[in-house]
Amino acid sequence: MSMIDMIKDKARKNVKTIVLPEGDEVRTVEASVIIKKEGLAEPILIGNAEKIAAVAKEIGVDITGVKIEDPENSAKNEEYTKQLYELRKAKGLTEEDAAKLVLDPMYYGIMMVKLGDADGLVSGAVHTTGDMLRPALQIIKTKPGMKIVSSSFLMDCPNKSLGENGLLVYADCVVVPCPTAEELASIAIAAADTAKVLCGIEEPRVALLSFSTKGSAKHELVTKVQQAVEIAHQQAPDLLLDGEMQFDAALVPEVGASKAKGSPVAGRANVLVFPDLQAGNIGYKITQRIGGADCFAVLQGLAKPCNDLSRGCSVADIVNTVACTAVQAQ
Ligand code: ACO
């Protein structure tokens, strides 16, 4: 069974409510019908009901039973405005601005999740990553004990000898441009958690990547990764985690054995932590485009799950991301 089929099975076992703020977007409308029909989640489309019905008619799908929330005509507006104002007044948000923001489907959806009217949110078919992330970071905030929000890419590789039967978790490829050593440690611990919760990997083996393996090169960038390893060991002493190491030392048993002898992770890592966003973002795209891996991104470290789509996403991508979000919400 593929990784995404396993995640979908898990989502069906405990159905969660997932809000889709881009409710009148064509792919989103089509995806909502599939999500409902396959029992992956209870989808809620945000937008004008007539507009959404017109889109459904145009593409020939039946949206009967799919819930719709229209911020312009919602009984919840007053409560959401009040709560949003309370949450952000210290940052200079006025009541008037809060009332305007609540009419924005992205903020309305985030408030639904914040106040427990939905379990998670998926957006990004229209909005950029930053537009989607900022309200989530400002309002949902991090999980208790979690320093930062970051992301993991679940890479399902055709070569089943890699990682966990071909499955690798890459972090961070979306959010934190230049992590400090503390932030890198936090990303590594969060990625191990994602590997467990979402991918069912019972023993995450985390490698912190670099262009150096165990001191083979000396540079401030290498020192930062070494410091991150130390911090992560202090914060999660039971986690199998090691570094710094090169990509091949992390993945290839013979290279791991020769370059990082005795490491519990080298040569058999299933979670790979990149030193910064440039490396991570380039790394996942190489694995996808040249390595032929299927990949799915999720945010980690948020108090409640919200996930981003690529603007070039397909209907299937939206369905898959909703399934991942639903499992995170469990
Ligand atoms: N974790 C937790 N909170 C955060 C984080 C984080 N990683 N980053 C910012 N915040 C918080 C801030 O503390 C602040 O909170 P406050 O307003 O309550 O004080 C709030 O979020 C806004 O912070 P800013 O610094 O003003 O936000 P910024 O404008 O820098 O945006 C963002 C943050 C969107 C995450 C930015 O770092 C970013 O653009 N990252 C890269 C996104 C991207 O383009 N990725 C690549 C493409 S995606 C792909 O290829 C799949």
| 290-303 pLDDT tens trace | 999 998 899 999 99
Residues 6+ apart with CB under 8 A from 230: none
Counting ligand 1 atoms within 8 A of each CB, the residue from 131, 134, 137 with the most, and so the one to mutate, is 137
Extract the residue ranges of the chain whose pLDDT is less than 50: none
d(C-alpha 271, C-alpha 249), whole Å: 13
Task: Please calculate the CA angle 121-181-280 and round it to the nearest 5 degrees.
Answer: 55
Give pLDDT, residue 296: 87
Name the CA radius of gyration of the chain, rounded: 21
Q: Look at residue 170 in the predicted model and tell me its pLDDT.
A: 98
Contacts of 24 (CB under 8 A, 6+ apart): 45, 47, 48, 51, 52, 55
| pLDDT at residue 16, rounded to an integer | 98
The protein residue whose alpha carbon is closest to atom 11 in ligand 1 is: 137
Structure tokens that stand for 310 in this block = 């690529």
Distance of CA 174 from the midpoint of ligand 1 (Å): 10
DSSP letter, residue 71:
G
Q: Which has the closest alpha carbon to 155: 165, 167, 163?
A: 167
Cα three-residue angle 11-125-177, rounded to 5 degrees: 90
Cis peptide before 182 (omega within 30 of 0): no
Q: Is the peptide bond before 242 cis (omega within 30 degrees of 0)?
A: no
Q: Which amino acid is present at 204?
A: P
Residues with CB under 6 A from ligand 1: 91, 129-130, 133-134, 137-138, 142, 148-149, 174-177, 281, 297, 310
Pocket test for ligand 1, best of 101, 134, 309 (most atoms within 8 A of CB): 134
Name residue 17's beta-bridge partners.
42
- Cite the beta strand spans of 157-227 per DSSP E: 167-171, 205-209
Q: What are the φ and ψ backbone dihedral angles of 178, each rounded to 5 degrees?
A: -135, 80
Give the pLDDT confidence score for residue 1 in this predicted structure: 79
Output the residue whose Cα is nearest ligand 1's atom 3. Answer: 137
Q: What 3-state DSSP class applies to 200?
A: coil
